Amino acid sequence: MRLTPDAATLWMRGLPHWRRCAFDGVALLGDDLVLAPDPHAPAPDWPVESARRFTGMAFDARCRLFRAMPLDTPADPASEGTSALAYVIWGQTTALGVHDATVHPLNVTAARTEGAPVPDGGAGSDDTLPRHAVAVGVDSRDLLYATDPVERVVWVIDTWQREVARRIPFTAVPLDVAVCGDAVFVLTDDGQVWRVSPCDAPEPMPWPRRAGAARLTVSRAVQARDAGAVAGGSAGGWLAWVLIEPGAALSRVQALHNGSAITVADALDLVSGEDDARLGTPLTLAMQPGQDFVQLRWLGAQPTVQGAGLSAPGYDGTGITLAPDGRIAYWTSAGLRHTSPARSRYRTQGRVFGFALDSGHDQRSWGAVRVMACVPPGTELRVWTVTRDELDDLDSLPHTPPVGALADFTAVPEPERTPLISAQDWARQPEGGHRVFRDAHAPAMSGPDAPEAGLQWFEVPVMAPPGRYLWVVLALHGTRHKSPRVRAVQVAHPGHRWLQQLPRTLWHEPAARDFLHRYLMPLARVLDDWDRSGAERHRLLNPRATPGEALPWLGRFVGLAMDPCWSETVQRRMVGEAARLFRTRGTVASLRRMVSILTEGAEVVLIEHHRLRGGGVVGHEQARASQAVLGAGFRVGGLIGEPNERPLADTTPVRFDDFAHRFTVMVVARLTEAQRACVERLIELHKPAHTAFTLCTAEGGLRLGVGSHVGVSAVVGHAARMQPAITGEAALGQGFILGRPELPREPIA
């Protein structure tokens, strides 16, 4: 029976672990701990020219930014003035890299049938053009949706034909429109969200109505997320947020799908990004002109402020949107601009109080505390450690959430199993703690102990007597613009066993044992790394487990020359099958398998030309005329029949060079020039000597008389990958079509 548990490594990392900790002046940025932003830091003094009123903007699939441009200022501030739709071509920049500010008007005409007169567009007519557009959105079909609060309609505009495709009336005032792929949602002033489309009647969404909601953004929940986490399964897994009372001191963001909310004063507009099952959905909030934009992460019912936000110099207070490259686009008096990360302004210190780490055995000795972190120059990390054998009468510190998180961040399951440090134990700790030092003996091989990109391991011995439970307290010290970043904390138990190799008289006393245990820890760490590397050296001979940098070295053992164009996955598969492939090197099966590995699973067809002699090759006269007759002697050339009818001497000799020692490799995939050259080098290296080959891909198409073998090299597949043609950007016959089907214009009851 084993009385002592095996050695183990305990971690603190990720959101489930950080939720069990307490924070003082520390914020959670994704999975990392950083110093919280300084609330008293002065905001940057940007030149600002505020817009007269709110207007929205949106990008289409052709990188055009559509916007409702105000034309006048109404006498009554509560009324809407006239506006015109316009667009800016995104991507056109000046010599200094500034986006072109040229605004192109979108002249929209009313839809009409063939032979019908053009409507006059009078007020109150169903054919009235949008003259009071406020919020706009563009779906994946390049249909522009514009809200008109004066007419209480939503205009659907065909941006290709530049005409109104549909006019959708509402009983309430439409305030905002949000687009997510092909789905379009409209928010009305009664708090209801509707789903609209070019043809169907508006469909009310099952989300609750929110009074005062004026801005809307919608994202699609990822499939990996639990369906029960998305309230209202009938909503199809959509995640929706509204901004209530934008611009007010108590403006707040409300999640319609689960009811959670967060107050963000003075927010004007919001936009959501792509949802992530582990980190949540990113939201960006536009603030008052002159203030940095606020970034949130919304995971379930947990909205968390992320980092220092985004800088938006010259923002005029209108709508914001996601640019095609993922940045946030906004409007200024000088035209279109993009946000940039705001310069961080941190607090200078903060603490993280870890929960109880259980070794499962009383009087357990602990090894070193290792911290995976980034510690810029001028910053530092310090650590306190406290141990105990029991949790009775433990006056634990209260749970406090990270700065920027909600109060229910402290709602952890079974908190009694992982209590925080005792207030009395913490009060007895020395000032300053113990400074961590960079681990200069990081593992050379990849694995769970390898630090992630941009991070390093730091360590410090556990300065506490043996005990079953261990508490780790981290102190982050930074500057106004720099902060340490902590990803994970690791503690191993028990510590090293080198004391058992020394005479007991040297470590019989507790003080001497504690000193020797910490004194020998650095040397034990180095020897443990060497032992682990030696014990795992067999991994170097396993192509599936060896580090990527060791693959060329491993390939030389089997005589395989690595091509720099091979990916790491291809290298591992080639090395793993090299022995079997080299036994049949140069054969059809071996070449076909090598090319299939290099193209990562593409279908490969290898055709030997000598097998086509006498067959029916379209367009090749000699191949059709020549025959090989077995029987009364072997005859090459001539036609099948009586020899006396046509002497062989009068026949045209067969050109053996058209068939002998030649083959064609068909790769049923689209290959770039670099990939094609890589495949050709592979075939050239491993094909039989004195042979010639031709490489064909799926882009070659069907070529009669050259390489058309039905069922072998003629591939019939999906051919509807056409794209609309744009003047100056398309060539007819190269995968483009002109025009598109007209939208139905049936009236909606």
Domain that holds residue 626: 614-654
Supply 542's token pair: 């396993």
Same domain, 249 and 367: no
Q: In the chain, how many H helices and how many E strands?
A: 10, 45
**What is the length of the chain?**
749
Q: What is the pLDDT of residue 41?
A: 63
Question: What tokens were used for 475?
Answer: 């102190």
Query: What number of CA atoms fall less than 13 Å from residue 527's CA on the CB side?
Result: 8
Q: Minimal CA–CA distance to 286: which of 245, 242, 343, 330?
A: 330
User: Which two structure tokens, joined as six digits, stand for 8?
Assistant: 């183990």
- pLDDT value for 702: 52
CB of 536 within 8 A of CB of 512?
Answer: no
Q: What is the mean pLDDT of each run of 10 residues along the chain (749 residues)?
A: 61 89 89 84 57 82 88 58 85 71 82 42 49 90 91 91 90 94 92 92 92 92 55 64 91 91 90 88 91 88 81 90 92 88 86 92 85 92 92 86 72 84 90 84 54 82 87 94 92 73 72 72 71 70 83 87 89 90 90 91 86 55 46 48 49 59 88 90 90 82 50 47 56 56 51
Q: Which residue has the tokens 């990958």?
A: 721
- Is 528 within a domain? no
Asked if residue 182 and residue 252 are part of one domain, the reply reads no
- Nearest to 596, CA basis, from 577, 579, 583: 577
Residue 491 — φ and ψ, nearest 5°? -135, 130
Backbone angles phi, psi at 645, to 5 degrees: -70, -35
Same domain flag for 357 and 485: yes
Q: Are residues 231 and 166 in the same domain?
A: no
Do 366 and 437 lie in a common domain?
Answer: yes
Question: Residue 671 sits in a domain of what CATH number?
Answer: 3.30.300
The token pair at 447 is: 């694995």
Cα-Cα-Cα-Cα dihedral sign, residues 245, 249, 250, 251: positive
Return the structure tokens found at 576: 């793993």
Of 282, 298, 332, the last residue of a domain is 332
Measure the CA–CA gap between 654 and 610, rounded to whole angstroms.
12
Whether residues 191 and 218 fall in one domain: no
One domain for residues 199 and 255? no
CATH number, residue 155:
2.130.10.10
Which of residues 452, 477, 495 is at a domain's end?
Answer: 495
CA angle 38, 44, 48 (to 5 degrees): 140
Q: Is 69 a domain residue?
A: yes
E strand or H helix at 521: helix 521-535
CA distance 6 to 497: 13
Q: Are the CB atoms for 247 and 189 separated by under 8 Å?
A: no
Looking at the fold, whether 432 and 472 belong to one and the same domain comes out as yes
Six token digits for residue 521: 């820890």
Backbone angles phi, psi at 568, to 5 degrees: -65, -35
CA distance 506 to 515: 11
The reply to whether 410 and 279 lie within a common domain is no
Look at residue 714 in the predicted model and tell me its pLDDT: 52
In a domain, 564, yes or no: no
Task: For residue 279, give both structure tokens.
Answer: 């980190």
Domain assignment present for residue 80? The answer is yes
Q: What are phi and psi of 689, to 5 degrees?
A: -65, 155
Within 560-599, strands assigned E span: none
The whole-number pLDDT of residue 484 equals: 94
Query: DSSP letters of 354-414?
Result: PBPEE-SSTT----EEEEEEE--TT-EEEEEEEEES--TT--BPPP-PPTTB-GGGG--SS
Helix H or strand E encompassing 284:
strand 281-286
CATH number of the domain residue 415 falls in: 2.60.120.260
Residue 445, CA atoms < 13 Å, CB-side half-sphere:
17
3-class secondary-structure state, position 554: helix
Residue 49 lies in a domain: no
* Inside any domain, residue 729: no
The distance in angstroms from the start CA to the end CA of the chain is: 80
In degrees, to the nearest 5, what angle opens at C-alpha 404 toward C-alphas 398 and 408? 50
Burial (Cβ within 10 Å: 0-12, 13-18, ≥19) of residue 191: buried
Q: What letter would DSSP give residue 81? A: -
**What's the pLDDT at 121?**
37
Shared domain for 351 and 217, answered yes or no, is no
Residue 474 and residue 490 in contact, taking contact as beta carbons nearer than 8 Å:
no
User: Within this chain, do residues 308 and 367 fall inside the same structural domain, yes or no?
Assistant: no
Q: What CA–CA distance (Å, rounded) separates 315 from 339?
A: 9
Q: Is residue 532 assigned to a domain?
A: no
* Confidence (pLDDT) at 171: 94
The number of domains in the chain is: 5
In a shared domain, residues 295 and 407: no
Is residue 45 a part of any domain in this protein?
A: no
Last residue within a domain, chosen from 461, 495, 529 = 495
